[in-house]
Structure 1
Amino acid sequence: MIIDHTFWAGQPLPRNVIPMVTETTSRGERSYDIYSLLLNNRIIFVGSPINNQFANLIIAQLLYLDGETSRQPIQMYISSPGGEVYAGLGIYDAMQQTNAPITTIAVGSTHSFGTILLAGGAPGRRYALENAAIHMHQPLISGGGISGQVTDIHIHAQQLVRVRQRIERLMAHHTGKTLEQIERDMERDFYLDAHEAKAYGLVDEVLTSPVSATIPQLAQIAETVTTEE
């Protein structure tokens, strides 16, 4: 988790490398890029470093889905190296304000604020795939953006402490661990596998069977689309 400075510069994928799929309906066929199709089925993919630009995209998708009449769960797949704390907090707050329950699924690895988003899913709806790696640590400052008088640096340090305490309270709330344990564990890089993350309280279940068998929306997509060659 990074304060104020962009450590990971997520860039949009070129259009020619985004897979296209064709949806067949009673009115004919329509082609979508894969992310639009997933969004149409209430699935959001958090697969990039978290910065302000990426956070705006995720928040916009949450607002769009929350504005629909459907209150079906929103599925959020997370495979992220983390990123900026304030951008991550924006996504987290939007998740908590959404009326529909949000299912979070760890894919590959969740690092830093990616793990906070994973833990922030609806109770009973937080999952990890069997080989996912889960990581957390205290917030840090990366880059050379802080300078000035000693007083100014002291102000930044005080704010960093407040942010760390806020993050620790969030993690204690979502895991059921004490603040003291969260503080100890986040003092340095802390890694867990999927089953350890379940025991820790970061996720509710480890998915060992096909995901579509657990999450109905994915089975529905498989029935309605064919990959465009």
Structure 2
Amino acid sequence: MPQLWCISRSTASKTTTKGAMTIATPDKTKKENGLSDYGIIYISGAIDGGTAESVCKEIIEYNIKGEAEQIQMIINSPGGSCPAGFSIIDITEWSRIPIYTTGIGMIASMGLLIFMTGEKGRRVITPRTSILSHRFSAFNIGNHSQLIAGRKEEDLEHERILSHYQAYSNIKSKEELEKYLLRDVDTWLSPEEAIQYGIADRIEPLRKR
């Protein structure tokens, strides 16, 4: 079976320091400092099965307890596994509690798809957020017959991504999506362009000290 990845090819540093705030980016969901007590889920680093399991469990737990009026999902990710990312997307759509998304640092590839799934009108990015939209990459190992069989899943994955953009952007035709957001090459977007294409709702102005 092909390994399908929706991830930025560029490498991000392990830790970003801004003023007195340090944002670490391991490939796990951050739960330190009691963030979950405040309805906050923080996703950083590459999205894999472990990340998906942690995020999905948290969303399910919030829904079972029924105490949070909304969930705030903060995303700083270069992307990752397509199946892992879509499992987060499925649970986000399933949640009875609205999930607000905030993009910081980088929302790229599958990280962007997860961000887009947030509650309409509540998908916020910062002025310095890097935004990348592109097609997924596949890594295939197997004999000739296995590679041919795996091609079907690759085509299905592309259709899933197209359908997601059609649902969460203001571009509805396959042809226009492949022209503007899912081109043959990487598409880097400014926060203003993300607003224009309807994949984000608002740019959050940062307080100057």
TM-superposed deviation, 1:174: 0.3
* Count of aligned pairs: 184
Residue 162 of structure 1 is matched in structure 2 by 156
Which of 142, 147, 152 is the equivalent residue of 2:142?
A: 147
Residue 182 of structure 2 is matched in structure 1 by 186
Larger-gyration structure (1/2):
1
TM-superposed deviation, 1:121: 0.4
Residue 3 in 1 paired to residue 3 in 2? yes
- Listed as ranges, the matches of 1:1-229 within 5 Å are 3-4=3-4, 35=32, 37-142=34-139, 145-148=140-143, 150-178=144-172, 179-184=174-179, 185-187=181-183, 188-210=185-207
Q: Give deviations 1:132-154, integer Å, cap 9, x for gaps.
A: 11111111114xx5211x22211
Note the residue ranges of structure 1 that are not aligned, 5 or more in a row. Answer: 9-18, 20-32, 211-229
Q: Secondary structure at the match of 2:3?
A: coil
Residues 67 and 137 (structure 1), Cα distance of their counterparts in 2 relative to 1, 3 Å cut = same
TM-superposed deviation, 1:65: 1.1
* Distance in 1 separating the partners of 2:131 and 2:5: 23
Tell whether the 8 Å contact from 2:7 to 2:78 is kept in structure 1 after alignment.
no
Tell whether the 8 Å contact from 2:135 to 2:158 is kept in structure 1 after alignment.
yes
TM-superposed deviation, 1:36: 5.0
Q: TM-score of the superposition, structure 2-length normalised? A: 0.81
Tell whether the 8 Å contact from 2:6 to 2:79 is kept in structure 1 after alignment.
no
TM-superposed deviation, 1:70: 2.2
* Distance in 2 separating the partners of 1:114 and 1:182: 18
Q: TM-score of the superposition, structure 1-length normalised? A: 0.74
* Distance in 1 separating the partners of 2:56 and 2:205: 30
Tell whether the 8 Å contact from 1:6 to 1:51 is kept in structure 2 after alignment.
no
Residues 112 and 40 (structure 1), Cα distance of their counterparts in 2 relative to 1, 3 Å cut = same
Q: Give deviations 1:70-123, integer Å, cap 9, x for gaps.
A: 241100000001000000010000100011100000101111000001110011
TM-superposed deviation, 1:48: 1.8
Percent same amino acid among aligned pairs?
A: 22
Letter paired with 1:3: Q
